[in-house]
Copies of this chain bind each other. A is one copy, B any other.
Amino acid sequence: MKRLRIIKIGGQVVENKIELKNFLKAFANVDSPKILVHGGGKTATKFSKKYNITSKMIDGRRITDAESLKVVQMVYAGLINKNIVAILQGMDCQTIGLSGADCNTLLAEKRPVVDIDYGFVGDIIRVNIDIIIKLIDIELVPVFCALTHDGKGQLLNTNADSITTELGMALADKFPVDLVFCFEKQGVLKNINDENSVVPSINSENYTRLKKEGIISAGMIPKIDNAFRALRGGVGNVYITHFHSLTDIFRLDNRKGTRIFLE
């Protein structure tokens, strides 16, 4: 059975037309089956600023009130998702843009209010893999934006990293799955200021050591913890790499970026 690659791109790439096209060219060349998940928070923030819509942030997470949800919906599902779909179609990549509401792919529940009311933010409770597999079976390439729904008519804002991880774990029942998180650094770095200090491989064993020695920066720890959660959930490999290096990440020789695996 062919490996399924689920690739996530963050907000920095989608902000730059040329970078975005280059990244999508590399994505179009990745063997199918594949899924793209994209963020867009930076564009949403910029858009909100331009039109004086204030978006509250707590701990780096957007507080999604009704007005912010509209912005997120317009920017993620309308502007960015359709641009990506159209560009990839121009590269003969048979994409279909999806929110979690489309075909009920990603069912979530509104995050319960404990100390903070995050507003219309959803945590995924079910990935409907049957319909995603049917879309893949008819040779479509799903492109997910960072939106889910509650199954009762309400859209919810959901972190793109979480969507990638949940998709990976759920689809691992049917495919050998790899996740690739593309961002603006070369991978997990030993020295955050040195792009040449990439840690090529992390497994459960050296992760404990790297953390203990303080080699992995605080900002990366949640990302790597998340990667291990995906691996324990059935995902084969998690890659963290620069968005320029998507083509190189699957090479066995001269791989760029970090490969994370269980053991």
Interface on A for B, CB 8 Å cutoff? 51, 70, 73-79, 81-83, 85-87, 89-91, 94-99, 101-104, 131, 134-135, 138, 140, 147, 149, 151-155
Write out the residue numbers on chain B whose beta carbons fall within 8 Å of the beta carbon of A97: 77, 99, 101-102
Write out the residue numbers on chain B whose beta carbons fall within 8 Å of the beta carbon of A134: 138
CA distance A51 to B82 in the complex (A): 22
Write out the residue numbers on chain B whose beta carbons fall within 8 Å of the beta carbon of A95: 101-103
Partner of A79, one of B51, B70, B140, B154: B70
Q: Are B79 and A74 in contact (CB under 8 A)?
A: yes
CA distance A103 to B135 in the complex (A): 10
Write out the residue numbers on chain B whose beta carbons fall within 8 Å of the beta carbon of A70: 79
Q: Are A101 and B85 in contact (CB under 8 A)?
A: yes
Write out the residue numbers on chain B whose beta carbons fall within 8 Å of the beta carbon of A99: 82, 85, 97
Write out the residue numbers on chain B whose beta carbons fall within 8 Å of the beta carbon of A147: 82
CA distance A171 to B152 in the complex (A): 31
Write out the residue numbers on chain B whose beta carbons fall within 8 Å of the beta carbon of A76: 78
The smallest beta-carbon distance between A127 and chain B, in angstroms, is 15
Write out the residue numbers on chain B whose beta carbons fall within 8 Å of the beta carbon of A86: 101, 149, 153-155
**Taking chain A's interface residues, is the majority helix, strand, or loop, or is none over half, making it mixed?**
helix
Write out the residue numbers on chain B whose beta carbons fall within 8 Å of the beta carbon of A140: 103, 131
Residue ID in chain B nearest A51 by CB atoms: B51
Interface pairs (21), CB distance under 8 Å: A70-B79, A73-B83, A74-B75, A74-B79, A75-B78, A76-B78, A77-B77, A77-B78, A78-B79, A78-B81, A82-B99, A86-B149, A87-B153, A91-B153, A94-B104, A95-B102, A96-B98, A96-B102, A96-B103, A103-B140, A134-B138
The smallest beta-carbon distance between A134 and chain B, in angstroms, is 5
Residue ID in chain B nearest A93 by CB atoms: B104
Residue ID in chain B nearest A52 by CB atoms: B51
List of 7 A-B pairs having minimum Cβ-Cβ separation, nearest first? A78-B78, A90-B153, A74-B74, A74-B78, A86-B101, A77-B78, A87-B153
CA distance A124 to B83 in the complex (A): 19
Residue ID in chain B nearest A152 by CB atoms: B90
Partner of A89, one of B74, B96, B98, B149: B149
Write out the residue numbers on chain B whose beta carbons fall within 8 Å of the beta carbon of A102: 82, 85, 95-97
